[in-house]
Amino acid sequence: MNLRSKKSLMALGAGAAALTLGLSACSGDTSESNDGGGSSGPEVEVFTWWAAGSEKAGLDALVGVFNEQHPDLEFVNGAVAGGAGSAAKDLLQSRLQAGDAPDTFQAHAGAELQDYIDAAQIQDVSDLYSEFGLTDAFPADLIDRLTVDGAIYSVPSNIHRANVVWASPAVLEEAGLDPEAEYESIDDWIVALDAVQETGKTPLSVATTWTQVHLLETVLLSSLGAEDYNGLWDGSTDWESSEVTTALENFEIIMGYTNDDRDGLDWPDATQQIIDGQAAFNVMGDWAEAAFAEAGATSPEDYIYFPVPGTAGVFDFLADSFTLPVGAPNEDGAKAWLETVGSAEGQAAFNKAKGSIPARTDADTSDFSPYQQSAIEAWGSDVIVSSLAHGAATPVATLNQVSDATSKFTTGASDLATFQSELAAAVAG
Ligand code: GAL
C-alpha cells in the first residue's frame, strides 16, 4: 500500500484509522484518548525507526538516561522497523492524519522538518530551549536549520555523517590492495573495485532502494563537488546538465560492482557483509560504526573507514531531531523526553552507542571511539552539505520521487536519460 500522498491518505479515511489502531496496540500504547492532546500520564510513546540491532542499542541508551531523569514516566516504544524510516515515515503520516499522534517522533533536521511544519503537525518548542538551557548548547548553524520564522520545532539528538566508506582490510589484502591506500576520485576507486571483482568477492555491498539513494547522493557529491551538489537543492545546478549526466554515469558504473541480492536487504545486512569478509567496501552513514562495535570489530585490522572518494574535507550531514506533535496525548511526558534528548548526559550516552556525535557542543565525548573522534574533528573543520537520503536536503515528497526513479533505474526499468529527467522533475516539484 502506498500511503505517500496526502490526498490518498484523506481518501483512505477509515482504512488508515484501522491501521492506526493496530499499530497503537502493537506498540503498547494504552492511552485512552488521543484526540485532544496535552494530558499528562505516565506513558510516553516515542516513535522512531530504531527497532533493532545497534540502532535499538542507541535508543536503549537514551531510554536509560530518560528513566534516571524521569523515574515517574514510562517509555513506550513506538518503533517501526526499516532503515532510514523507509516504513516508519508513511505509517507516521497516516497516524498524524488520523489524529493519532505519538507523544513524540523522530524526524530529520532540514527540509523534512519543513513538511511537518507546513502541515501544522508539530509545535514550536522554543520555550523549551529557554527552559532547558538549550539555546547556546547547539551550534548556531544547526539551530538555523531547525528554525522557521523565529520558531524552533524540534530538539536534535545527534549529528550523523553520510559520506563514509567502510571496508574490510582482509578482503582488500586478498585482492592485493593496500588497506591504507587513499582514493582521490571515483575513477581511482574503480581500479580497486576491479581488483576485488577478480577475487570473486563483492566489491561494494549495498541494500534496498534507500541505501542506493544514499550511495547516489555521495556519488553526486564526489562527482560535482560541494558547491554544485548544494546547487542541486537550491536550483543553481541544472539537473539536466552534462555534469550531472557524468555523475549518473559514475553511479551506474559503481552500481555494477554491487551484490545482486541488494533489493531484499536493509543496511545492517550490507554492513554485515563487510564484517563477515564477503564484501570489500560499503558506503553508509556512521550508524554503521555502531554495528561494527556491536560485532566486536574495533581495530583497524577489523575494519577501516574513509570519506567517499572525492569527498574528503566535506561532511555530508544529517541530524535526527525529536518533535512535539500537535495533539500529542501526553505533552508533559513528551517535553520530559525532549529534555533528556537535549541534555548533555542524554547526548553522551545516546551518541556513544549510536556511532554519531552529539549535537551539543559540551557533551562528554572523551570515551568515544577513534572513528567518532575523527567525525568530531571533521564536523568542526569540513564543509557541511545536506544529505538527500536522510531528509536534510529535500522534502519527503521529493525524496519519495527520487527513490522511485532510482529503483526503476537500478532494476533496469529505465535508462540513464530517463533517470536523469525523472530526477530533474522530482526536485523541480
Ligand atoms: C537515518 C537516521 C539514522 C539511522 C539511519 C538508518 O535516516 O537518521 O539515525 O537510523 O537512518 O536507519
d(CA 256, CA 250): 10
| Span 193-223, pLDDT tens digits | 999 999 999 999 999 999 999 999 999 999 9
166 and 285 belong to one structural domain: yes
337 and 248 belong to one structural domain: no
Q: Is 383 a member of any domain? A: no
Q: What is the DSSP string of 159-172?
A: BEE--EEEE-HHHH
Q: Does the beta carbon of 55 lie inside 6 Å of ligand 1?
A: yes
Considering its fold, how many domains does the chain have in total?
2
Q: Which among 59, 160, 317 is the best mutation to test ligand 1's pocket, defined by most ligand atoms within 8 Å of the CB?
A: 160
Q: Does the pLDDT value for residue 58 go beyond 50?
A: yes
Q: Does the pLDDT value for residue 54 go beyond 80?
A: yes
Q: Does the beta carbon of 390 lie inside 6 Å of ligand 1?
A: yes
Q: What is the mean pLDDT of residues 49-62?
A: 98
250 and 339 belong to one structural domain: no
- The string over 93-126, giving b where at least 16 C-beta atoms fall within 10 Å of a residue's C-beta and e elsewhere, is bbbbbbebbbbbbbbbbbbbbbbbbeeebbbbbb
Instruction: State residue 4's pLDDT score.
Output: 30
User: Between these two residues, 35 and 375, which has the higher pLDDT value?
Assistant: 375
Phi, psi at residue 282, to the nearest 5°?
A: -150, 135
Q: Is 25 a member of any domain? A: yes
Counting every residue, how long is the chain? 429
CB 193 within 8 A of CB 204: yes
Q: Is 373 a member of any domain? A: no
188 and 230 belong to one structural domain: yes
Q: Which among 106, 145, 271, 320 is the best mutation to test ligand 1's pocket, defined by most ligand atoms within 8 Å of the CB?
A: 320
CB 110 within 8 A of CB 73: no
Q: Does the beta carbon of 156 lie inside 6 Å of ligand 1?
A: no
CATH number of 265's domain: 3.40.190.10
| Span 232-266, pLDDT tens digits | 999 999 999 999 999 999 999 999 999 999 999 99
Nearest to 383 by CA among 135, 112, 108, 141: 141
| Span 105-146, pLDDT tens digits | 999 999 999 999 999 999 999 999 999 999 999 999 899 888
CB 239 within 8 A of CB 219: no
End-to-end CA distance of the chain: 23
Instruction: State residue 48's pLDDT score.
Output: 98
Task: Kindly report which listed range (4-13, 65-74, 104-113, 297-306) carries the lowest average pLDDT score.
Answer: 4-13
324 and 282 belong to one structural domain: no
Q: Is 57 a member of any domain? A: yes
Q: Is 372 a member of any domain? A: no
Q: Does the beta carbon of 320 lie inside 6 Å of ligand 1?
A: yes
Question: Which protein residue's CA is at the shortest distance from atom 11 of ligand 1?
Answer: 84
Q: Is 375 a member of any domain? A: no
d(CA 312, CA 108): 24
Instruction: State residue 38's pLDDT score.
Output: 52
Q: Does the pLDDT value for residue 5 go beyond 60?
A: no
- Domain with 46, as residue range(s), is 3-159+320-367
155 and 172 belong to one structural domain: no
- What is the SS3 assignment for 53-87? HHHHHHHHHHHHHHHHHCCCCEEEECCCCCHHHCC
Nearest to 155 by CA among 104, 111, 101: 104
**E-strand spans in 132-268?**
147-148, 151-152, 155-156, 160-161, 164-167, 202-205
| Span 335-392, pLDDT tens digits | 999 999 999 999 999 999 999 999 999 999 999 999 999 999 999 999 999 999 999 9
Q: Does the beta carbon of 160 lie inside 6 Å of ligand 1?
A: yes
d(CA 124, CA 118): 12
Nearest to 209 by CA among 329, 85, 117: 85
Instruction: State residue 36's pLDDT score.
Output: 42
135 and 173 belong to one structural domain: no
Distances from the Cα of 116 to the Cαs of 21, 93, 124, 281, 303, in angstroms? 22, 9, 11, 36, 38
Instruction: State residue 20's pLDDT score.
Output: 32
204 and 70 belong to one structural domain: no
193 and 138 belong to one structural domain: no
407 and 277 belong to one structural domain: yes
Mean pLDDT of the chain: 91
Instruction: State residue 145's pLDDT score.
Output: 84
Q: For residue 13, what is its C-alpha cell?
A: 479515511
132 and 226 belong to one structural domain: no
| Span 285-320, pLDDT tens digits | 999 999 999 999 999 999 999 999 999 999 999 999
User: Between these two residues, 2 and 321, which has the higher pLDDT value?
Assistant: 321
Q: What is the mean pLDDT of residues 330-338?
A: 98
Q: In sequence order, what are the beta bridge partners of 18? A: none
Q: Is 284 a member of any domain? A: yes
d(CA 233, CA 210): 18
Find the 235 Cα to ligand 1 centroid distance in Å: 26
Which residues, in sequence order, are CB contacts of 22 under 8 Å at separation 6+? none
Q: Is 376 a member of any domain? A: no
216 and 230 belong to one structural domain: yes
Instruction: State residue 40's pLDDT score.
Output: 66
Question: Which protein residue's CA is at the shortest distance from atom 12 of ligand 1?
Answer: 83
Question: Which protein residue's CA is at the shortest distance from atom 4 of ligand 1?
Answer: 84
40: left (phi over 0), alpha (psi -120 to 50) or beta: beta
Of the pLDDT bands very low, low, confident and very high (cuts 50, 70, 90), residue 10 is very low
Q: Residue 235: exposed, middle, or buried by beta-carbon count in 10 A (0-12, 13-18, 19+)?
A: exposed
Instruction: State residue 146's pLDDT score.
Output: 86
Report the percent of the chain where pLDDT is more than 90. Answer: 88
Report the percent of the chain where pLDDT is more than 70. Answer: 91
Instruction: State residue 34's pLDDT score.
Output: 39
Ligand 1, atom nearest to 158 Cα: 9
d(CA 22, CA 315): 40
Distances from the Cα of 132 to the Cαs of 42, 75, 127, 260, in angstroms? 21, 20, 9, 49
